[in-house]
Structure 1
Amino acid sequence: MTHINALDPGASPLDYYGYELRRHREAAGLTQRQLGDIVNYTGSLVGQIETARKLPTPEFSERVDAALGTDGMFSRLVELVLRSRLPAWFQQVAELEGRALEICTFQTHVIHGLLQTRAYARAVLGVLDQTDVEDRTAVRLARQRILEKEEPPILWMVISEAALYQETGGAETMRGQLAHLLSFECNPRVNVQVLPFSAGAHAGLQGAFNLYRFRRDPDIVYTEGYGSGHPAANPDTVSDCSLRYDHLQAAALSLKDSAELIRRVTEERYGQRDNPVA
Structure 2
Amino acid sequence: MVNIRSLDPSASPLDYYGYELRRLREEAGLSQSQLGDVLFCTGSLVGQIETARKVPTREFSERLDAALMTGGFFTRLVGLVLKSQLPSWFRPYADMEARATYLCSFQAQVVDGLLQTESYARAVLGVRFETDLDGLVAARIERQRILERENPPLLWVVMSEAVLRQETGGRKVMREQLAHLLGMQDREWVKIQMLPFEVGAHPGQPGSFNLLRFESEPDLVYTEDFVQGHMTVDSAAFRQGLLRYDHLRAAALSVEDSSALITRVMEEHYGDNPEHGGRALA
Distance 1:51 1:87 in 2: 21
Aligned to 1:118: 118
**Alignment match, 1:72:** 72
The alignment status of 1:3 with 2:4, answered yes or no, reads yes
**RMSD, matched Cα:** 1.8
In the TM superposition, what is the alpha-carbon distance from 1:259 to its structure 2 partner? 0.1
> What does residue range 192-203 of structure 1 map to in structure 2 within 5 Å?
192-203=192-203
Aligned to 2:268: 268
TM-score by length of 2: 0.92
Following the alignment from structure 2 to structure 1, what is the Cα–Cα distance between the partners of residues 125 and 132?
A: 10
Note the C-alpha offset of 1:261.
0.5
Shift of 1:129: 4.7
Q: Which moved more, 1:43-52 or 1:196-205?
A: 196-205
Aligned to 1:220: 220
Q: State the aligned residue count.
A: 275
Distance 1:67 1:130 in 2: 34
Structure 1 residues 81 and 128: alpha-carbon distance in aligned structure 2, compared to 1, 3 A threshold: closer
Residue 6 (structure 2) pairs with residue 14 (structure 1): no
Unaligned runs of 5+ in 1: none
Give the match for residue 142 of structure 2.
142
- For residues 79-128 of structure 1, give each alpha carbon's deviation from its aligned partner in whole angstroms, at most 9, with x where no partner exists: 11111111111111111121111111000011011111122111111126
* Partner of residue 279, structure 2: none
Q: Secondary structure at the match of 1:260?
A: helix
| Structure 2 Cα separation of the partners of residues 275 and 113 of structure 1 | 29
Cα deviation, 1:39-83, whole Å, max 9, x if unaligned, reads 111111111111111100111001111111212111111111111
CA distance in 2, matches of 1:133, 1:93: 20
Q: Which letter does structure 2 place at the counterpart of 1:71?
A: G
CA–CA separation in structure 2 for the residues paired with 1:202 and 1:273: 33
Following the alignment from structure 1 to structure 2, what is the Cα–Cα distance between the partners of residues 206 and 218? 24
On the 8 A contact 2:82/2:142 being kept in 1, the answer is yes
Matches within 5 A, 1:68-217: 68-127=68-127, 129-217=129-217
Q: Distance in 1 between matches of 2:37 and 2:110?
A: 40
Percent of pairs identical after alignment?
59
How far off is 1:256 after superposition? 0.5
**Structure 2 CA distance, aligned partners of 1:75 and 1:13?**
13
Give the CA deviation at 1:3: 3.0
Secondary structure of the structure 1 residue equivalent to 2:237: helix
2: CA distance, partners of 1:131 / 1:47? 20
